[in-house]
C-alpha cells in the first residue's frame, strides 16, 4: 500500500503542470475513479478542508488521502510522491535554466501547454459545480 500511494502521487506530481488547481482533475481521476479510495462527494469535502487549512492544496490533499488510507505511513508516501518530482525537476532546471530559457522549441511547447492548463482548471469548475 505504501508503494501504491507513493506511485499514485508520484504520477500526479510528475504529470501535472500548473500547481494545485491543475492537479485536482488528476487527483480526482486517480483517487476517486481509479482506486475508489474516496467517493466524489468526499473528494469535494477534501478540497474544502485542504483549502481551508494553510499551505499548499496539493500537499494538504496528499496528507488527507495518505492519512485516510494508510495512517502516518500513507502521509509520508503521498507527500514524498507529490513533491519529489517537483524538487528533482526544479533542481535540474535551476542548474541549466540559462541554456534552455530562450530555446524556441521549449518556448513553442509551453505555448501549447499553457492554454491547455487553463482549460483543465476551467473544466474542474464545472465538474465540481455539478456536485454542489
Residues from 88 through 117 that contact another protein (CB under 8 A): 89-91, 93-94, 97, 104-105, 107-117
Q: How many residues does the chain have?
A: 132
Q: Kindly tell me which of 2 and 18 has the beta carbon lying closer to another protein.
A: 18
Residue of 4, 14, 35, 73 that binds another protein (CB under 8 A): 14
Check residue 10 for interaction with another protein (CB under 8 A). Answer: no
The verdict on 118 binding another protein (CB under 8 A) reads: yes
How many chain residues touch another protein (CB under 8 A)? 77
The least distance separating another protein from the CB of residue 119, rounded to whole angstroms, comes to 4
Q: What is the largest CA-CA distance in the chain?
A: 47
- Rounded to the nearest angstrom, the gap between the alpha carbon of residue 3 and the centroid of all alpha carbons in its chain is 17
Q: Which residue has the cell 530555446?
A: 103
Q: Are 32 and 65 in contact (CB under 8 A)?
A: no
Location of C-alpha cell 456536485: 131
Residues 42-81 touching another protein, rule: CB under 8 A, are: 44-45, 47-60, 63-64, 67-68, 75, 79
Q: How many CA atoms within 13 Å lie on the side-chain side of 101?
A: 6
Amino acid at each position: 500500500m505504501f508503494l501504491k500511494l507513493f506511485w499514485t502521487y508520484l504520477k500526479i506530481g510528475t504529470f501535472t503542470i500548473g500547481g494545485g488547481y491543475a492537479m485536482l482533475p488528476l487527483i480526482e481521476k486517480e483517487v476517486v475513479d481509479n482506486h475508489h479510495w474516496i467517493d466524489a462527494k468526499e473528494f469535494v469535502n477534501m478540497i474544502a478542508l485542504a483549502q481551508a487549512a494553510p499551505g499548499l492544496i496539493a500537499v494538504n490533499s496528499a496528507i488527507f488521502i495518505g492519512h485516510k488510507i494508510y495512517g502516518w505511513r500513507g502521509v509520508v508516501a503521498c507527500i514524498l510522491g507529490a513533491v519529489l518530482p517537483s524538487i528533482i525537476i526544479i533542481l535540474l532546471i535551476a542548474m541549466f535554466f540559462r541554456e534552455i530559457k530562450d530555446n524556441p522549441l521549449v518556448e513553442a511547447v509551453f505555448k501549447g501547454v499553457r492554454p491547455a492548463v487553463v482549460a483543465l482548471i476551467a473544466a474542474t469548475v464545472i465538474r465540481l459545480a455539478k456536485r454542489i
